[in-house]
Amino acid sequence: MAILTEKKIKKLLRTTKLKETKFLVLEPGTVITPSAKEYLKNITIEYMEIQKESETKKQEVTFPMTQLKVNEPKNIKNIQDILIYNNGNGQEIWKSHLIYQFKIKLDITISHILTLQKKSHHIGKIELVEALDTILMVVKTILMETLVLDKLDLVQEIEKLLEDKKRYVVSLYPQGSFIPTYKDEEYVIDLFELHAYLQELEHFIAKEMKDILIFEDYINYISIATILKDYCWILMVQSKENSVE
């Protein structure tokens, strides 16, 4: 039986990509010490234990069927037809698992926004704090699975801002071909990192969520993720140029 301690977590942070992925997979039967749990919570790292094969089969048979059978549409011969998603690579995945992955990615994005807000507030970058708060409110709306009208208004405001500044920014700092350096301010690099997480979120929605969302929500979620990603890029460029001044 493996025991996960705070010391082992710190070693994993040094020797693996745990700091970037923010997600720890544990072997079956792993015991986590109280201090390790608290440490994972403080550094905002999610963890999940791999189930034994027998438990996995049991869950596939009982959990999705008992939880979701009430929503079974009429004329469906097999409830698995609406519960299982084929990812296009010959793999079949329970839709509930994709929703879980989606929520984890949103939580990770939120944690990065909050961390950057804290740093920005500490150094007096109040405008950046407020801009990040706009992104945060929109991401939280997606997390609640409700596209609230006032939050959609925020997205439209961001779109208007992008119309004015995107052409200039892309001409000098095109996404995909510009990368900050270690000489840039820390918050500039943090914004670049947040942009990468929003880009990953956009890609996940586009690739994995098409068959488990209604079409209107699918399009809205992709559009929102793209707008937030572009907005974050502009914030990074503005921060970089202001730091030079």
Give the domain CATH number at 143.
Answer: 1.20.1200.10
Q: Measure the N-to-C terminal CA separation of the chain; round to a whole number of Å.
A: 57
Statement to judge: residues 128 and 217 lie in one domain: yes
Average per-residue pLDDT for the chain = 75
Confidence grade of residue 129 (pLDDT, cut at 50, 70, 90): very high
Do 17 and 5 contact (CB within 8 A), yes or no?
Answer: no
Q: Is the pLDDT confidence value at 65 over 60? A: no
Question: Helix 126-143 to helix 215-244 angle, to the nearest 10 degrees?
Answer: 170
Statement to judge: residues 59 and 135 lie in one domain: no
Separation in Å, CA 74 to CA 71, 202, 224? 9, 33, 33
Statement to judge: residues 59 and 42 lie in one domain: no
Range of the domain at 69: 53-86
What percent of the chain is predicted at pLDDT more than 70? Answer: 73
Statement to judge: residues 177 and 164 lie in one domain: yes
Number of domain units in the chain: 3
Q: Is the pLDDT confidence value at 6 over 50? A: yes
The token pair at 145 is 């699975």
Which of 29-33, 74-78, 94-98, 121-125 has the weakest average pLDDT?
Answer: 74-78
Statement to judge: residues 81 and 138 lie in one domain: no
Strand partners, 31: 3
Confidence grade of residue 32 (pLDDT, cut at 50, 70, 90): confident
Q: Per-residue pLDDT tens for 177-200?
A: 888 899 999 999 999 999 999 999
Note the pLDDT of residue 99. Answer: 79
Statement to judge: residues 73 and 158 lie in one domain: no
Statement to judge: residues 152 and 40 lie in one domain: no
Statement to judge: residues 153 and 228 lie in one domain: yes
Q: How many residues make up the chain in this entry?
A: 245
Statement to judge: residues 60 and 126 lie in one domain: no
Entry pTM? 0.57
Residue 155 CA neighbour count, 13 Å, CB half = 21
Note the pLDDT of residue 4. Answer: 86
Tell me if residue 101 falls in helix, strand or coil. helix
**What mean pLDDT is predicted for residues 170-175?**
78
Note the pLDDT of residue 69. Answer: 35
Statement to judge: residues 82 and 141 lie in one domain: no
For residues 194-205, one letter each, b for 16 or more C-beta atoms within 10 angstroms of the residue's C-beta and e for the rest, the string is bbebbbebbebb
Statement to judge: residues 130 and 152 lie in one domain: yes
**What mean pLDDT is predicted for residues 130-155?**
73
Note the pLDDT of residue 89. Answer: 52
Q: Is the pLDDT confidence value at 81 over 50? A: no
Tell me if residue 209 falls in helix, strand or coil. coil
Statement to judge: residues 32 and 116 lie in one domain: no
